[in-house]
Amino acid sequence: MPHPTSRSTPSAVPARPAWRTPAWSPAMAWTALFVGVALLAWFGTLGMRHLLGPDEGRYAEISREMLATGDWVTIRYNALKYFEKPPFHMWATALTYALFGIGEWQARLCVALAGLAGIGMSMLATWRWFGTRAAAFAGLALLAAPMWSVAAHFNTLDMTLAGVMACILACMLMAQHPAASANARRGWMLGCWAAMGVAVLTKGLVGVALPGLVLTIYIGVTRDWRLWRRLHLGAGAVVLLAVTVPWFWLVSVRNPEFLHFFFIHEHWQRYTSGVHSRPGPLWYFVPLVVGGFLPWIGLFPRLWTAMRTPADGEARFRPALMAGIWAIAIFVFFSLSRSKLPGYIVPVMPALGILAGVALARLDARTWARQLAGMAIVAACGLLASPVVATLNANHTPNAFYRAYAIWAAAAFVVMLLGIAAARCLLRRGVLPSVAVYALGMYLGFTVALVGHETVGRPASGADIAPQILRTLTPDMPLYGVRMLDHTLPFYLRHPLTMVAEADELSFGTEVEPARWLPDIATFATVWRDGTPAMAVMSPETYLALSPTLPLYVVARDWRRVVVTNVPIPAPAPSVAAH
């Protein structure tokens, strides 16, 4: 029998059903709009550019050949064994091809997802230690950092590795929070070990060496020796080996030459010698970090302060210090290497993003206004200097392409300036809305510059001449690369090259499988004249040198390549007018 006082009266306000969700606030609506615009630009631009060589074309074609042959163990490039890198990135791309077909955006989907995962995991770790506001700032910092957002739209292993490394750092930070339960700590640490396994399968031993270096330095600085016991070393090692050993074992059994080439040549000799001819001064990565984190360059002194400031309520672990050591240790590690490429430094960006999130969360409106003024000067100088792009004639690219790109470069700085102006107007509503609009403006500006690069990239890609070649090329027809390894044409033709005279970066494959290439021009001439229809791609200079002595019938040509066949091209049949 109900209690008398429980009876409702007509004037009583009915209780709100527990399942009913509250109406969206204006802040939630603006957040949803922001996220929608950012994601649209993030994924919608993946297919707006043709693939560039060497990296984009190489890894797109390796993945295509993997799917076409069904061999997911022995990596091949132009049908030759290619053991410079492990297979995870190519596995993911080949799977994308199988699901969505073969194309440019499919080739870049892996790096786009890796970049997005890096942002999400960095925000999660920042939220756990420093709160929602700092997490939002960390995500904005990474989104607007060109080294991160632009790299997430180029089909390279560096971005995939960086995304996985961001997950390693985030899992470590999540596991060490003092409020984490024993089960949560174990789960996050096993996730960290699994991510290290994926990093090893992406780019080799750096996937373990770099986190291990950071951890060793951190423990040495903080004297937190008990941290070793919180890493779940035994179970973690099992997870790491379970992720990595199956492929390494299979590829070694099928290819006995793999272990020496991969671990000695591609790791030890690459780091300690100039075997790959990629030297650089000790300060090589300094301008790359400055430019790659340019929208937040004025915060660098505050990043140092954030690194040394303990998080509120922490017990013994110092997350900001670990993030700082992560960035510094990886920077120094690659600066000391004898082999340097710009993409090597991308893994430092998530750590810088976390520190930027902490610094921005402590920033007042007046200080942020000064940051906006500084970046307005930088963007204005960039706009005034953009005509310089029209004077370039670099990397054997004709100046006409750079003149077209200069317009896009100027437009990019205009978008940035508009974003800065909007951020200045919104500052009266608070630092967070202002930073959000500023970050979006920076990100969209760099996206404009990236999309506009098609004016330079498309003519170099071989995509425009591929349709002409495919009118003559058949699946069983040999396609030779004469003293030229074209990194994009095989992908657009869906047809690998057979190398002639110069093996380029495929020298290992030609050594272990000499029957799959032609070592000199004399051998090529004999095969070319035997009457079997074939095609070849070569530079204009090689074409001029060979045309007096070999039957070379031009199928297609552009400013950097000539494609020829050894048999006359039949004239197109005359069209019959309809009566």
- Across the chain, which has 579 residues, the per-10-residue mean pLDDT values are 41 45 73 94 96 94 97 97 96 98 97 98 97 97 97 97 98 95 96 98 95 96 92 97 97 92 74 62 94 95 88 75 97 90 95 97 95 96 94 81 94 97 95 97 97 92 93 94 96 97 93 95 96 94 96 94 91 54
Q: 356 and 472: one domain?
A: no
In a domain, 292, yes or no: yes
Query: What per-residue confidence (pLDDT) applies to 197?
Result: 98
Q: 354 and 488: one domain?
A: no
Query: What per-residue confidence (pLDDT) applies to 261?
Result: 84
In a domain, 454, yes or no: no
Identify the domain boundary among 313, 347, 362. Answer: 362
Query: What per-residue confidence (pLDDT) applies to 310?
Result: 73
- The β-bridge partners of 80 are 77
Q: Nearest-CA neighbor of 176 among 307, 308, 348, 323?
A: 323
In a domain, 170, yes or no: yes
Do 21 and 28 touch, CB atoms closer than 8 A? no
Helix, strand or coil, per DSSP, at residue 418: helix
Identify the domain boundary among 328, 362, 396. Answer: 362
In a domain, 83, yes or no: no
Q: 182 and 316: one domain?
A: yes
Q: Which domain holds residue 290?
A: 108-261+276-362
Question: How many structural domains does the chain have?
Answer: 2
Question: How is residue 268 annotated by DSSP?
Answer: I
For residues 490 and 366, what is the distance between their CA atoms, to the nearest angstrom? 55
Angstrom CA distances, 516 to 167, 219, 256, stand at 40, 51, 18
Q: 343 and 480: one domain?
A: no
Place of tokens 């690194």: 307
- Tokens (6 digits) for 523: 């051998």
Q: Is 531 exposed, middle or buried (0-12, 13-18, 19+ CB in 10 A)?
A: exposed
Identify the domain boundary among 310, 339, 362. Answer: 362
In a domain, 35, yes or no: no
Q: 119 and 240: one domain?
A: yes
Q: 484 and 356: one domain?
A: no
In a domain, 410, yes or no: no
In a domain, 236, yes or no: yes
Query: What per-residue confidence (pLDDT) applies to 18?
Result: 47
Query: What per-residue confidence (pLDDT) applies to 413?
Result: 97
Do 202 and 75 touch, CB atoms closer than 8 A? no
Do 168 and 192 touch, CB atoms closer than 8 A? yes
In a domain, 63, yes or no: no
Q: Nearest-CA neighbor of 57 among 86, 78, 87, 88?
A: 78
